[in-house]
Chains A and B, each alone.
Chain A
């Protein structure tokens, strides 16, 4: 807690509005005895807790028909800003509280208990009384908050227990706890199986992707395979064409021969005609010659039955042969001429009908283009093997998932069964909370003790340091014993002055947010006072000193207030 403003209006000796503004660091209020120093401290407790001693409305105000008094305080606590205002009049007492500018109807006691606030206000006359026994040590050591939480938990536990009837429920609770543990174990198992299934499913997805990729490859390989087969067919066809071409080349002679023979026959006929015409002219023509002519004209004499001398005259034959010989020199293939007529005719017909050299050539060229193209060998077998392996793995994993799912279903049933058992007790949650509250209370006991221990060590260290600096017996007084609120290893009784020094050292060790000390140096000798003055700013973040003589302490700060008294009106004012 830290004070910001205190406004007193018609409170006890103070008439009218009197305002005090406090800063961090040291604040001083100077006033002679009876001028109202202690009244200021009283007014704070009146505003916060409604504490009042006797008649608190200023007499002069009453005389002026102002029959009320009011104290308003602005303060900070745990990061919140508060304004507490209390008014007393003939109409009774009124109290207002604002927290961070919002009106609230809760009491200050629930925010800062009075016993805790008291630890920030000391009277120099009685401060030494803390030695030997420190009331509310827990508040001082900062564990009061923890103790309050523990009390809350205990209260809550009792309330929860009241909602249950009979001790059988408590016994049942422990049985349920066992079942809960079993459920937890099953849940862990369930989690593991789910993870396994998820892993298998992930792998199956991967396999699915790999299979689809293999299928794409397989499609390509199939095309390659088809191409290979096509090429085989083309190669076969090509070979056939080569054979046909060879055959054609052989038969080419007949074609040429036929053409040439026709020409030869034509020439012979021509010559024969000329000879006939000559012979007719000369009157030498006969029947044999006519026959020969007709044969010659038919052209079959060449490819038919070999010309016989029996039917034709020697002269005509030799003439014909001579002509043929002449033709033979041109065509150079006359030997075929002596083949049987049937063979030759059929050969000629065949060549003429089925063999077209241009068609062969074109087809051959087309096939050559295809066959000359580069075509990689098909790897379909390998791809098929990989694909099958993947499919087998996928199937195995699917089976594994089925197994796991069946196991999972069993576990789920078991969990459901156990949960159903637990749910049958509607007060399960209450029981669980009670058990947890028990554990928490035990833990809080230990936490409080541990916090106390640590805070004691810290406080003793700081307080001892101050004591050693300010005491007149630095060799004798080694340190402060916080537990017993005394000086360590000192058997002799301390004087009031020494107790005063010890108490202030302890305050410095605790270092609260605020400390208000009325007459801080009472009973202290000059040496102690001089040494303590230096330590005053370190006693708390905000120190308020009230004293009759401030010659020495006024140098600690500029925030100094003076109390003045009007003897006639019997009122004090703050300046």
Chain B
């Protein structure tokens, strides 16, 4: 497991979903980005 994986585990977070949230940064429109992050927060 890499360092980021360890950090996610420490906080009880699913690394795959954290990665997905981080990749939301590439969504250009803010509202779309926040909506996507919001739905991922529910799954986290």
Contacts and interface: CB of A to CB of B under 8 A. Distances in A.
Contacts of A160: 38
Contacts of B22: 145-146, 149, 447
Contacts of A106: 28-29
Given A110-B28, A149-B25, A443-B18, A450 B3 contact: yes
Given A106-B29, A149-B21, A155 B34 contact: yes
Contacts of B11: 439-440, 442-443
A418 interface: no
B37 to A, nearest CB: 6
A447 B21 CA distance: 13
A370 interface: no
B42 A432 contact: yes
Nearest to B4: A447
A442 B24 CA distance: 18
Nearest to B30: A110
Name the prevailing secondary structure of the B interface residues. helix
Interface centre among A152, A446, A454 (most CB of B within 10 A): A152
Contact of A440 (B4, B10, B18, B25): B18
Nearest to B22: A149
Given A439-B12, A440-B13, A443-B18, A156 B42 contact: no
Interface in B1-40: 3-4, 7-8, 10-13, 18, 21-22, 24-26, 28-30, 33-34, 37-38
B42 A436 contact: yes
B42 A433 contact: yes
14 contacts: A104-B28, A146-B25, A152-B25, A155-B34, A156-B34, A159-B34, A433-B38, A439-B44, A440-B11, A440-B41, A443-B10, A443-B13, A443-B18, A451-B4
Interface of A: 78, 99, 104, 106, 110-111, 145-146, 148-149, 152-153, 155-156, 159-160, 429, 432-433, 436-437, 439-440, 442-443, 446-447, 450-451, 454
Given A110-B28, A149-B37, A442-B11, 13 more contacts: A148-B25, A149-B21, A152-B25, A153-B21, A153-B37, A155-B34, A433-B41, A436-B44, A439-B12, A439-B13, A443-B13, A443-B18, A454-B3
